[in-house]
Chain A
Amino acid sequence: MPINYYIFLALALFCIGVAGVLTRRNAIIIFMCIELMLNAVNLLLVAFSKMHYAAAVANAPGTIVGTDAQLFVFFIMVVAAAEVSVGLAIIVMMYRNTHSIDINFLNRLKH
Chain B
Amino acid sequence: MSNILNYIWLVPLFPLIGFLINGLGRNFLSKTLVSFIACGALLASFVVSVYFFISVKEGNHELVKLFDFISVGKLSIPFEFQIDALSSLFLLIITGVGFLIHLYSTAYMHEESNAHYARYFAYLNLFVFSMLLLVLGGNYVIMFIGWEGVGLCSYLLIGYWFKNTDYNNAAKKAFIMNRIGDLGFLLAVFWIIQQFGSVSFGEVFANAESKSTAVLTGITLLLFIGATGKSAQIPLYTWLPDAMAGPTPVSALIHAATMVTAGIYMIARSNILYTLAPTTQSVVAVIGLATAIFAATIAIKQNDIKKVLAYSTVSQLGYMFLGLGVGAYTGAVFHVMTHAFFKALLFLGAGSVIHAMHHEQDIRNMGGLRKKLPITHLTFLLGCIAIAGIPPFSGFFSKDEILAAAYEASPVYWIVGVAGAMMTAFYMFRLYATTFLGNFRGTKEQEHHLHESPWAMTVPLIVLAILAVIGGFVGIPKVFAENAHSLEHFLSPIFTQSEELVKKDHALSHSTEYMLMGVSVALALIAILYAVNRYSKKPELQDAEGFGKVLANKWYVDEIYDAIISKPLKAISIFFNNVIEKSGIDGFVNGIGEGVQYASRQLRLLQSGQVGSYILLMVLGMIILMVVQFFIK
Contact = CB atoms under 8 A, between A and B. Distances in A.
Contacts of A25: 612
Contacts of B614: 109
B616 to A, nearest CB: 5
A35 B614 CA distance: 20
Contact of B616 (A22, A109, A110): A22
A98 interface: no
A106 B616 CA distance: 15
Contacts of A104: 610-612
A107 B619 contact: no
B609 interface: yes
A18 B616 CA distance: 9
A106 B615 contact: no
A78 B611 CA distance: 27
A110 B611 contact: no
A104 B615 CA distance: 12
A103 B611 contact: yes
Question: Interface centre among B610, B614, B619, by most A CB within 10 Å?
Answer: B610
A111 B615 CA distance: 18
Nearest to A24: B612
Nearest to B616: A22
Interface in A1-57: 18, 21-22, 25
A110 B189 CA distance: 60
B607 A110 contact: yes
Contacts of A99: none
Contact of B619 (A22, A103, A109, A110): A22
B164 interface: no
B56 to A, nearest CB: 81
B608 interface: yes
A106 B619 contact: no
A107 B615 contact: no
A108 interface: yes
What is the interface residue range for chain A against chain B? 10 to 19
A109 B609 contact: yes
Main SS class of interface, A: helix
Interface in B586-632: 607-612, 614-616, 619
Nearest to A19: B619
Contact of B615 (A22, A108, A110): A22
B608 A107 contact: yes
Given A18-B619, A22-B619, A110 B609 contact: yes
Interface string A73-111: 000000000000000000000000000000110111111
A100 B610 CA distance: 15
A49 B215 CA distance: 76
B611 A107 contact: yes
A110 B609 CA distance: 4
B608 A106 contact: no
B627 to A, nearest CB: 15
Contacts of B616: 22
B612 A110 contact: no
B611 A109 contact: yes
B615 A21 contact: yes
Contacts of A18: 619
A103 B609 contact: no
A70 to B, nearest CB: 27
A22 B608 contact: no
A107 B619 CA distance: 19
B605 to A, nearest CB: 11
B612 A111 contact: no
For the complex of A and B, the 6 pairs showing the least CB-CB separation, nearest first, are A110-B609, A107-B609, A109-B609, A103-B611, A106-B611, A22-B616
25 contacts: A18-B619, A21-B615, A22-B612, A22-B615, A22-B616, A22-B619, A25-B612, A103-B611, A103-B612, A104-B610, A104-B611, A104-B612, A106-B611, A107-B608, A107-B609, A107-B610, A107-B611, A108-B609, A109-B609, A109-B611, A109-B614, A110-B607, A110-B608, A110-B609, A111-B609
Given A103-B612, A104-B610, A108-B609, 18 more contacts: A18-B619, A21-B615, A22-B612, A22-B615, A22-B616, A22-B619, A103-B611, A104-B611, A104-B612, A106-B611, A107-B608, A107-B610, A107-B611, A109-B609, A109-B611, A109-B614, A110-B608, A110-B609
Interface of A: 18, 21-22, 25, 103-104, 106-111
